[in-house]
Amino acid sequence: MRFFDPESRPKHGWRARVYSVVFETDTPAGLLFDVLLLVAILLSITVISLETVTFFEVRHRHSLRIIEWILTGLFTIEYIVRLAIVREPKRYIFSFMGMVDLLSLLPTYLSLFFSDTQSLQIIRALRLLRVFRIFQLGRLQSEGGTLMRALMMSRYKIAVFLGTVLVIVVVQGALLYYLEHGVNEGFSSIPRSVYWAIVTLTTVGYGDISPVTVGGQFIASLLMLFGYGIIAVPTGIVGAEVAINEFTARIDARLAEQVVIQEHSKDSCAGSIPAFAIIEGPLDAGVTTRSRERT
C-alpha cells in the first residue's frame, strides 16, 4: 500500500530502496518504520499534553523539553529524507500529509522566537492518519469514500435544510426578544436571543438563558420538540444517499462480472457460440456420445 503518488517513486538505486521503507508498508522494514514513527508521534503528543499540566510542567519541565526537541529533530530528519527521495519534492510539500508534516515541525522552532506556540504542536495528531496505511485498512478508506460521495450528492439538500434552520432560529430569536427583553435581562438583544434559539433547537440546553413569560416558555417548548425531529433530517438525507450509492455499486459490480464472463466465453470458443449454450436438458436425454465429447 502506497502513501504517496506512485509516479513520484524513484525507478532504481538507493532512493528507491529508501522510498520503499519511508513511503510504503509492503516490506517488513517499511512496516517497522511506520510503527516506530507512530510510536514517536504518540510520545510527542503525550509530552505536549503533559506540558499543559501544571504538576508535570513544574517538576519535569526540563526533561519534557529535551524529549520534545529530540523528537522534533527526528521528525525534521524524516521530513528532509522524504523530500530527498521523491522525484518531485514540490508535489509532496503541497500534498495534504506533506503540509501536515511541515506544520507539525514549525511550532517547536517558532517557540524559540514567540511564546505560546508550543501547544500548536498538537497538530501532530493528524499524522496519526498514517495508521490507515500501516494496518492497510483499505476497506475503511473505501467506506470513507462512500460517505464522502454521499455527502457531496446530498449537499444541496443539506444546504436547503441548514437555510431553513437558520430562518427558524432567527425568527424564534426575534420573537423571544420581543416577549422577554422587558422582564428578562438574558434576552438583551436579538443576536443573544438567536443564540438561545440555536442552543434550544439543537437540544443542548446550556441553561444560561431561559424564558420566564408564559408565551416564551410555550415557544421554547415547541422549539425543543421540533429540535428532536429536526436532528434526524440530515441523518436521513445522508443515509439515503449512502444506500443509493451502495445499491448502485453492487449493480455495477454484477454487470461488470457478467461482461467478464461473456467475454471469457467468447474468447474460449473463438468468438462462436459455446457448445453448452445449444444443449438443453441432461446429457442422457438424447445426446450422442459425439455431442458429449464436444461439450
What pLDDT digit, counting tens, does each position of 212-270 carry?
999 989 998 988 888 887 777 777 777 777 777 777 777 877 887 777 676 666 555 55
Full pLDDT tens readout for the chain, 295 residues? 344 454 566 666 777 788 878 877 677 887 888 888 888 888 888 888 888 788 887 888 888 889 988 988 998 998 998 888 888 888 888 888 788 888 888 888 887 777 666 666 667 777 776 665 555 555 555 666 677 777 787 788 788 888 888 998 999 999 999 999 888 888 989 999 999 999 988 888 788 888 999 998 999 898 888 888 777 777 777 777 777 777 777 787 788 777 767 666 655 555 555 544 444 444 444 444 444 444 4
Query: Within this chain, do residues 186 and 227 fall inside the same structural domain, yes or no?
Result: yes
Query: Within this chain, do residues 23 and 116 fall inside the same structural domain, yes or no?
Result: yes
Q: Structural domain of residue 123, as residue ranges?
A: 6-136
- Which of these three, 136, 168, 191, is where a domain ends? 136
Query: Within this chain, do residues 54 and 169 fall inside the same structural domain, yes or no?
Result: no
Query: Within this chain, do residues 112 and 183 fall inside the same structural domain, yes or no?
Result: no
Query: Does residue 285 lie in a domain region?
Result: no
Query: Within this chain, do residues 156 and 113 fall inside the same structural domain, yes or no?
Result: no
Task: Tally the C-alpha atoms within 13 A of residue 219's C-alpha that lie toward its C-beta.
Answer: 22
Query: Within this chain, do residues 202 and 229 fall inside the same structural domain, yes or no?
Result: yes
Query: Within this chain, do residues 185 and 88 fall inside the same structural domain, yes or no?
Result: no
| Domain count for the chain | 2
Q: Are 27 and 34 in contact (CB under 8 A)?
A: no
Q: Are 197 and 173 in contact (CB under 8 A)?
A: yes
Place of cell 436425454: 285
Query: Within this chain, do residues 14 and 103 fall inside the same structural domain, yes or no?
Result: yes
Q: Exposed, middle or buried by CB within 10 Å (0-12, 13-18, 19+), for 71?
A: buried
pTM: predicted TM-score of the whole model, two decimal places: 0.53
Query: Within this chain, do residues 234 and 155 fall inside the same structural domain, yes or no?
Result: yes
